[in-house]
Amino acid sequence: VSCVYEPGVLTLRDHTELRALSSELDSVRGLTEALRAQAHEAANRLHTVLTLVELGRSDEAVRLATEELALAQRLTDEVVGAIAEPALAALLLGKSAQAAERGVELTVDPDSRLHVGALPTTDLLTVVGNLVDNALEAVAVAAPPRRVRVRVTETDGEVLVEVGDSGPGLPPEQVADAFRRGWSTKRPGRGLGLALVGQVIARHGGRYEVDAAAEGGSVFRIRLPIGART
């Protein structure tokens, strides 16, 4: 709420809806960027196949196209089979392509299970999209192999979103600051993604945990009660 005072007039403005719309816009923007990366990756593969055909190397073109198709289909089957929420499944497929462009292996845990309507779609996109983006930035400075693992599931009346990475890790004393707007390990003013995640957690009365990952990075766990949005 902001307060504006003019002589004889006191104006109060409620920014709750504006902030909610801003969060939804960031979620949609993240989904759009992820799908654009997926389309770009597909265009690169198609261009390679066509070039091989033009060079008269049809066998290699067929082999490459078949391998890429099988890989893409397997990934699609795994994600769509586990995540019934179509927008979230699309986001994860897009982020996989985005990760591949950066030389990062992004995997969706086979134990992932999420039904449509468990949580508002925009909130799911905000949490998952920003956690994955955070993980991709973390592994960018790490030595290969660079890995990001995602798990989204329903358990005990809540949605659990878990994203682990093989980056340098987040020191325990910086965990609380990481969810504060404007904080970043890079430079002041960069931190926005995790702050948006923190807003979703607050709206749903959820909670978060950040632990060390087995591969040396961090594991972010976000727990959001189903049907508890305020």
Question: What is the per-residue pLDDT across 87-124, written as a single tens digit (0 to 9) for each?
Answer: 888 888 888 878 887 889 898 888 898 888 889 988 99
- Checking if the pLDDT of 13 tops 80, the result is no
In a domain, 85, yes or no: yes
Average pLDDT, the chain: 78
Domain span at 221: 2-225
Does 47 or 129 have the greater pLDDT score?
129
Q: What is the DSSP string of the chain?
A: -EEEEETTEEEEE--HHHHHHHHHHHHHHHHHHHHHHHHHHHHHHHHHHHHHHHTT-HHHHHHHHHHHHHHHHHHHHHHHHHB--HHHHHHHHHHHHHHHHTTEEEEE-TT-BB-TTSS-HHHHHHHHHHHHHHHHHHHTTSPSSEEEEEEEEEETTEEEEEEEE-SS---GGGHHHHTSTT--SSSTT---HHHHHHHHHHHHT-EEEEEE-TTSSEEEEEEEETT---
Residue 66 included in any domain: yes
Q: Give a yes or no: residue 230 inside a domain.
A: no
The answer to whether position 168 is within a domain reads yes
pLDDT band at 171 (very low <50, low <70, confident <90, very high): confident
pLDDT (0 to 100) of residue 55: 84
Which residue has better confidence, 37 or 24?
37
Q: Over the stretch 216-230, which tens digit does the pLDDT of each residue have?
A: 799 999 999 997 554
Instruction: Tell me the CATH number at 77.
Output: 3.30.565.10
Specify if 76 maps to a domain: yes
197: in domain: yes
Q: Considering the domain boundaries, does residue 177 fall inside one?
A: yes
Mean pLDDT of 136-158: 91
**How would residue 160 be classed by pLDDT, with cut points 50, 70 and 90?**
very high
Q: For the segment 61-88, what is each residue's pLDDT rounded down to a tens digit? A: 777 777 665 555 666 667 777 788 888 8
Total number of domains constituting the chain? 1
Question: pLDDT tier at 188 (50, 70, 90 boundaries)?
Answer: very low
Comparing 185 with 203, the larger pLDDT belongs to: 203
Work out the average pLDDT over 5-33.
56
User: pLDDT category, 213, cuts 50, 70, 90?
Assistant: confident
